[in-house]
Amino acid sequence: MTGVMKAVVKIAPAEGCLELQTLPIPEPGPREILVRVKAAAICGTDVHIRHWNPWSQARISPPVVIGHEFSGEVVEIGSDVHTVRVGDRVSSESHIPCNNCQICHEGNRHVCPHTKCIGVHQDGCFAEYIVIPEEIAFVYNDPALPWEQLALMEPLGVSVHAMMDVPLTGKAVAIIGAGPLGQMGILLAKLSGASRIIVLEPNTARRKTALQQGADAVIDPVSQDPVEAVLHLTDGCGPHVAVDFSGSTAGLTAAMSYLRPEGRLICVALSDKPISVSISDFGYRGCSIRGIAGRRMYENWEEMRGFLALGLDLSSIVTHVLPLKEFSQGIDLTERGECAKCILMPQ
């Protein structure tokens, strides 16, 4: 396909420096597909890229089209593409593993040390078109699934990875942080049969949303003692699982105190600040900590299909929809925590 497209480009290695530009439509290679982007979701990573934080500085070489959460229609395929067809409705994994290293061969592609990311190492989805490898495209041809929700499959996969790490049926679960991923975590815990879902969130609006999503109880960890409150809600035993979607060092520290003996602390949002705790009591109670990196490739994607078949509805996660040209406003809303997921519509 020839022609030009609009795209949001990080044009220079500095604060800000995001521009809506006109670029040539990219051409797919032999094992790649060209996708007409229908919806793209803004992530906290895009906020970091705008501010050019240390994470961005270590990974990005401008100019690059940003964005990595999207859905779209396949409009062209490479000569060696066999599993995706023109006209397919697709979402996409954002990580491109090397598939050749020992870590990949051990079945751990999601933590491949040579991973490349769309919207970071190569052009992303805040554009009218994007080229991706066939291997990271996932076909969802159910027309009842709106483009806006289909664009949330990548972040949903992170929540699925976290919430499916241990069986939740009949278990008490604490969810720390009720942002978009935390809200997805509530929905997944409910569908998985958790006996009690306790959400810790300082934002008043997000606590209200957490109850609407199915939380059994919400705690403001600023005005209440989180350890005392969680223990009270679990008959003094603590939850079987605590999942941190906040990256708050205070939230992690509290969780290590209120977690039930032999409980599991699952860390999704990792703070760049050090945490100072005594590990002796935590370890003596037989508790463990697990880090979550992206999505297990490709098990979590298949689990997502299952949750959608069970009736998982992400419509409440989409709170704002804007045209691509208003990307800056969308990033502002995301940074201020005034939305769950803000969707950009390129077409």
DSSP-assigned letter for residue 127: B
Q: Which of 48, 121, 232, 320 is the catalytic position?
A: 48
209 among known catalytic residues = no
Structure tokens at 209: 């949303």
How far the first Cα of the chain sits from its last, in Å, is 16
Give the separation between CA 315 and CA 343, rounded to whole angstroms: 12
45 among known catalytic residues = yes
Q: What Cα–Cα distance (Å) separates residue 186 from each residue in 73, 125, 130, 165, 347?
A: 30, 28, 32, 15, 32
Give the separation between CA 87 and CA 75, rounded to whole angstroms: 6
DSSP-based three-state secondary structure for 249: helix
Listed residue (142, 153, 132) closest to 300, CA to CA:
153
Q: Which of 45, 115, 209, 234 is the catalytic position?
A: 45
Q: At what angle do helices 327-336 and 44-51 cross, to 10 degrees?
A: 110
Residue 292: which residues within 8 A CB-CB, separation 6 or more? 158, 161, 162, 165, 266, 267, 268
Q: Give the angle subtended at the CA of 321 by the CAs of 48 and 189, to the nearest 5°.
A: 75
**Residues annotated catalytic, as ranges:** 45, 48
